[in-house]
Amino acid sequence: MPFTEIDFFTISTATFRILFCLVVLRQDRRLIAHFNVTANPTAEWAAQQVAEAFPEETIPRFLIHDRESIYGEFFRQRIRNIGIEEVITTPRSPWHNTINGRLIGAIRRERLNHVIVLNEHHLCIILCDDSE
Protein backbone atom coordinates (compact mmCIF):
# COMPACT_ATOMS: atom_id res chain seq x y z
CA MET A 1 0.00 0.00 0.00
CA PRO A 2 2.05 2.96 -1.19
CA PHE A 3 -0.11 6.03 -0.39
CA THR A 4 -2.53 6.85 2.41
CA GLU A 5 -4.33 10.14 3.06
CA ILE A 6 -5.32 11.56 6.42
CA ASP A 7 -7.65 14.48 7.08
CA PHE A 8 -9.90 16.03 9.73
CA PHE A 9 -13.38 17.45 9.37
CA THR A 10 -15.63 19.05 11.97
CA ILE A 11 -19.22 18.49 12.98
CA SER A 12 -21.41 20.63 15.24
CA THR A 13 -23.56 18.84 17.80
CA ALA A 14 -27.05 19.67 19.06
CA THR A 15 -25.43 21.43 22.04
CA PHE A 16 -23.14 23.43 19.72
CA ARG A 17 -20.00 21.51 20.63
CA ILE A 18 -17.51 20.94 17.85
CA LEU A 19 -16.42 17.35 17.20
CA PHE A 20 -13.41 16.46 15.10
CA CYS A 21 -13.45 13.37 12.91
CA LEU A 22 -10.19 11.96 11.61
CA VAL A 23 -10.38 9.87 8.42
CA VAL A 24 -7.51 7.65 7.23
CA LEU A 25 -8.04 6.61 3.61
CA ARG A 26 -6.08 4.01 1.64
CA GLN A 27 -5.57 5.35 -1.87
CA ASP A 28 -4.89 2.01 -3.55
CA ARG A 29 -8.45 0.77 -3.02
CA ARG A 30 -10.08 3.99 -1.86
CA LEU A 31 -11.15 2.34 1.38
CA ILE A 32 -11.44 3.91 4.79
CA ALA A 33 -8.63 2.33 6.81
CA HIS A 34 -9.66 4.00 10.06
CA PHE A 35 -11.70 6.83 11.51
CA ASN A 36 -12.32 8.17 14.98
CA VAL A 37 -14.04 11.08 16.67
CA THR A 38 -12.92 13.34 19.49
CA ALA A 39 -13.84 16.68 20.99
CA ASN A 40 -10.20 17.51 21.80
CA PRO A 41 -7.76 16.43 19.10
CA THR A 42 -4.08 16.45 19.97
CA ALA A 43 -0.94 15.43 18.10
CA GLU A 44 -0.65 12.41 20.42
CA TRP A 45 -4.22 11.34 19.68
CA ALA A 46 -3.78 11.76 15.90
CA ALA A 47 -0.52 9.79 15.93
CA GLN A 48 -2.18 7.00 17.91
CA GLN A 49 -5.00 6.82 15.34
CA VAL A 50 -2.48 6.38 12.52
CA ALA A 51 -0.72 3.65 14.51
CA GLU A 52 -4.04 1.88 15.12
CA ALA A 53 -5.04 2.15 11.45
CA PHE A 54 -2.21 -0.05 10.22
CA PRO A 55 -1.15 -3.37 11.67
CA GLU A 56 2.54 -4.02 11.03
CA GLU A 57 2.11 -5.82 7.71
CA THR A 58 -0.06 -3.05 6.18
CA ILE A 59 1.99 0.05 6.97
CA PRO A 60 1.89 2.46 4.01
CA ARG A 61 5.04 3.90 2.53
CA PHE A 62 3.68 7.48 2.33
CA LEU A 63 1.15 9.46 4.38
CA ILE A 64 -0.37 12.52 2.69
CA HIS A 65 -1.66 15.28 4.96
CA ASP A 66 -2.11 19.03 4.96
CA ARG A 67 -0.32 21.61 7.08
CA GLU A 68 -2.66 21.65 10.07
CA SER A 69 -0.89 22.45 13.32
CA ILE A 70 -2.03 19.17 14.88
CA TYR A 71 0.53 17.39 12.71
CA GLY A 72 3.31 18.82 14.84
CA GLU A 73 6.67 17.42 15.88
CA PHE A 74 5.26 14.67 18.11
CA PHE A 75 3.04 13.41 15.27
CA ARG A 76 5.83 13.60 12.73
CA GLN A 77 8.30 11.76 14.96
CA ARG A 78 5.77 9.02 15.74
CA ILE A 79 4.97 8.27 12.10
CA ARG A 80 8.69 8.33 11.25
CA ASN A 81 9.26 5.74 13.99
CA ILE A 82 6.54 3.56 12.47
CA GLY A 83 8.34 3.76 9.12
CA ILE A 84 6.00 6.05 7.20
CA GLU A 85 7.29 8.91 5.06
CA GLU A 86 5.31 12.18 5.12
CA VAL A 87 4.02 13.96 2.04
CA ILE A 88 2.82 17.40 3.10
CA THR A 89 0.55 19.22 0.67
CA THR A 90 1.43 22.71 -0.49
CA PRO A 91 -0.27 25.64 1.27
CA ARG A 92 -3.77 26.57 0.09
CA SER A 93 -3.92 23.62 -2.33
CA PRO A 94 -7.02 21.57 -1.49
CA TRP A 95 -6.76 19.62 -4.76
CA HIS A 96 -3.70 17.79 -3.41
CA ASN A 97 -5.88 15.83 -0.97
CA THR A 98 -8.76 15.30 -3.38
CA ILE A 99 -9.77 11.71 -2.69
CA ASN A 100 -10.21 12.35 1.02
CA GLY A 101 -11.95 15.64 0.23
CA ARG A 102 -14.50 13.87 -1.95
CA LEU A 103 -15.00 11.21 0.72
CA ILE A 104 -15.64 13.83 3.39
CA GLY A 105 -18.12 15.56 1.07
CA ALA A 106 -19.94 12.27 0.53
CA ILE A 107 -20.03 11.59 4.28
CA ARG A 108 -21.55 15.01 4.88
CA ARG A 109 -24.16 14.64 2.10
CA GLU A 110 -25.16 11.04 2.73
CA ARG A 111 -24.82 10.69 6.50
CA LEU A 112 -24.74 14.05 8.25
CA ASN A 113 -26.82 16.65 6.39
CA HIS A 114 -30.14 15.17 7.52
CA VAL A 115 -29.18 14.32 11.13
CA ILE A 116 -28.56 16.35 14.26
CA VAL A 117 -25.55 14.84 16.00
CA LEU A 118 -25.91 14.54 19.77
CA ASN A 119 -22.42 13.55 20.92
CA GLU A 120 -19.27 11.60 20.00
CA HIS A 121 -20.90 8.21 20.50
CA HIS A 122 -23.90 9.19 18.37
CA LEU A 123 -21.61 10.38 15.56
CA CYS A 124 -19.71 7.07 15.60
CA ILE A 125 -23.02 5.20 15.32
CA ILE A 126 -24.08 7.37 12.35
CA LEU A 127 -20.77 6.86 10.56
CA CYS A 128 -20.67 3.10 11.20
CA ASP A 129 -24.28 2.37 10.24
CA ASP A 130 -24.27 0.05 7.19
CA SER A 131 -28.03 -0.60 7.13
CA GLU A 132 -28.68 2.07 4.47
2 falls in which pLDDT band (50, 70, 90)? confident
Average pLDDT of 39-50? 94
Q: Collapsing DSSP states into helix, strand and coil, what is residue 81?
A: helix
User: Cα separation of 64 and 19, whole Å?
Assistant: 22
Q: What is the CATH number of the domain that holds 66?
A: 3.30.420.10
55 falls in which pLDDT band (50, 70, 90)? confident
1 falls in which pLDDT band (50, 70, 90)? low
| pLDDT value of position 29 | 76
| pLDDT value of position 97 | 66
Number of domains within the chain: 1
List strands edge to edge, sheet with 85-88: 31-38, 18-26, 3-12, 62-65, 85-88
| pLDDT value of position 125 | 92
117 falls in which pLDDT band (50, 70, 90)? very high
Identity of the amino acid at 67: R
The domain in which residue 120 lies consists of 3-128
